Amino acid sequence: MAQHVSIHPDNPQQRLLHRAAEIVRQGGIIALPTDSSYALGCHLGDKAAVERIRSIRGVDDRHLLTLMCRDLSQIGQFARVDNATYRLLKATTPGSYTFILEGTRELPRRVLHPKRKTIGLRVPAHAVTLAFLEELGEPLLTSTLIIAGDDGPLTEGWEIQDRLENQLELILDSGNCGIEPTTVVDLTGPLPVLVRAGLGPLAPLGLD
């Protein structure tokens, strides 16, 4: 049964962040708030946890998961970033964007798109998420918290517990954080390509 804890949205309690990081390192799945909606998260290297997230979402290995990073240096470790891409990322992170990039050899093949070898990466603009990533000390593999068959993400901690209490280990509840998705941009080509318009403004990307 999932532990359900209330965490302050602006000044998250360190003991709760520490507990969440330990759960992830031990192979657990957590629900955590972001700047766009709640997300499911697990350790990058845990194959069983990744499959559990895919099962909750009802998606296969062609659905891109997102590597949530605390800063640009982590993105550069796990994705191929040239100078132009770096400048764009610097102008838009942290923020409500997911960038599709070619993964490096640091990433397990199972988390990459099977044909394109790409992955989604983002640096969220949410105090709880950034503080958690700092405590974890490495990126978190995530997916939007949408249960298979639902039209949109869950937005309340009690609802997440009610629907998923036997499938998660921890729910970090900071209250409603919205349901509008991130703006998704493909950066694998010479120019940015808009995949989905969402919460992140298009002007910094030159796509408005």
Cβ–Cβ under 8 Å, residues 94 and 125: yes
Cβ–Cβ under 8 Å, residues 5 and 16: yes
pLDDT value of residue 109: 83
Query: In sequence order, what E strands does 95-169 have?
Result: 97-102, 118-122, 140-144
pLDDT value of residue 130: 97
pLDDT value of residue 66: 95
pLDDT value of residue 62: 82
118-122 β-sheet, strand order: 3-6, 170-173, 30-32, 39-42, 140-144, 66-68, 118-122, 97-102, 183-186, 193-196
Per-residue pLDDT of the chain (208 residues; tens, 9 = 90+): 899 999 999 999 999 999 999 999 999 999 999 999 999 999 998 999 999 999 999 998 888 899 999 999 899 889 999 999 999 999 999 999 999 999 988 888 888 888 888 999 999 999 999 999 999 999 999 999 999 999 999 989 999 999 999 999 999 999 999 999 999 999 999 999 999 999 999 999 888 7
C-alpha to C-alpha distance for 11 and 148, rounded to whole angstroms: 32
pLDDT value of residue 9: 95
